[in-house]
Amino acid sequence: MERVHPTHPGRSSLVAWMRSPIGWVVLLAVCAVVALLFYAGSVRSGRTPRRLVSWPPSSRIDAALAAAQGRLATDPQDLPALVEVGILHFAKGAQSYPEAINELEEARRLGALDSRIFYCLGAMYQELGLYTFSMQEYQRYLRNYPDDREVRLMAAKLDYRQGDFNSAIKEYERLRFRDPGDLLVAENLGLSFWQAKLADRAAECFSQLLAAGGPPARRAQFYLGRLAFESGRVQEGLDMMRRSLPADGEPETGIPKQQMYRLLAQAYQRLNRVDEARDAWQMVLLAVANDPEATVALKTINRRASARNPRRK
């Protein structure tokens, strides 16, 4: 297994900074912000990953942590105890991430080869928005467990978020080869092809979702409609995107409604269907008050309507 060289400047500086009080405060603030903003807007997360690292029930974590810390106090060279302390701090949640990262990085520096270190550090760095460090840890983990679907999905998601769509495609294609029927993989592969400007290959992936029915099929209709709209087939795209909207009482698609209505409004405008464009932009504002694009679009539509009909109030 690969070890991080203890003099690695980026990692050493980060860990030293995190040991300072200001580092803790800033990282916890970043963690809170990232938790709010981490929605991709396109790439889909799928189900919650299975737990790759086990720990006691929450009511017993503090006792287990105290026991591990006691072992470490008796023998500061007890690397398994240091790893356990780091993992238990990870289990306690975001408020304990600074301690967990310091302890697991220190355990690795001292020679610990426990592969759980890679997973825990990768997950924490990802939550803190430190995507480069997170990817390095997931890659180390995957060198030990190359068939781990959940971590490979997380690595592909990070590639996508960082704009490395070709790497995301490679990861998703590897997963799809192993399970061609995996709809989550097919959807994310399609989104990656889309961002890589490979529209035909994206459409092939989205078409696989149509047969699934329910929300996946509606998302596929929206994606395919947007592809048609962006390629200049505006009416075809509009028809598909309209069909993707769930009726009253039907499950949500998983795509934010403001995103769906925003594209509908743009398509209506391209077709000069002014009243329907106005209604769609108003739906965007219902979802996101004071949305700047919708606000400007409505002002423009109303100004032009007033210019055509000066008596209209």
Q: Calculate mean pLDDT across residues 6-11.
A: 45
Task: Say yes or no to pLDDT of 50 above 80.
Answer: no
In-domain check, residue 48: yes
What is the domain extent for residue 154? 1-162
Spatial CA neighbour of 87 closest among 50, 118, 47, 127: 118
Confidence of residue 15 (pLDDT cuts 50, 70, 90): low
pLDDT, tens only, 156-171: 999 999 999 999 999 9
In-domain check, residue 246: no
Q: Would you say 11 and 4 are in contact if contact means Cβ atoms under 8 Å apart?
A: yes
User: Which residues lie closer than 8 Å to 22 by C-beta, 6 or more apart?
Assistant: none
Task: Say yes or no to pLDDT of 269 above 60.
Answer: yes
The pTM assigned to this predicted structure is 0.75
Q: What distance in Å separates the CA atoms of residue 280 and residue 264, rounded to the nearest whole number?
A: 7
pLDDT of 67 reads: 96
- Mean pLDDT (the chain, rounded): 85
pLDDT, tens only, 106-159: 999 999 999 999 999 999 999 999 999 999 999 999 999 998 999 999 999 999
**CATH code assigned at 108:** 1.25.40.10
Q: Would you say 251 and 214 are in contact if contact means Cβ atoms under 8 Å apart?
A: yes
- Count the domains in the chain: 1
In-domain check, residue 250: no
pLDDT of 9 reads: 42
- Please state the φ and ψ torsions of residue 235, each to the nearest 5 degrees: -65, -45
Task: Say yes or no to pLDDT of 60 above 50.
Answer: yes
In-domain check, residue 142: yes
pLDDT, tens only, 180-190: 999 999 999 99
Look at 38 and 191; give whichever has higher pLDDT: 191
The DSSP output letter for 252 is P
pLDDT of 247 reads: 82
In-domain check, residue 109: yes
Confidence of residue 56 (pLDDT cuts 50, 70, 90): confident
In-domain check, residue 13: yes
Helix (H) or strand (E) holding 228: helix 214-230
Residue 92 exposed, middle or buried by CB count within 10 Å (0-12, 13-18, 19+): middle
pLDDT of 39 reads: 34
Confidence of residue 311 (pLDDT cuts 50, 70, 90): low
In-domain check, residue 31: yes
Spatial CA neighbour of 236 closest among 224, 253, 220, 244: 224
In-domain check, residue 60: yes
pLDDT, tens only, 17-49: 455 544 544 444 444 333 333 333 456 654 334
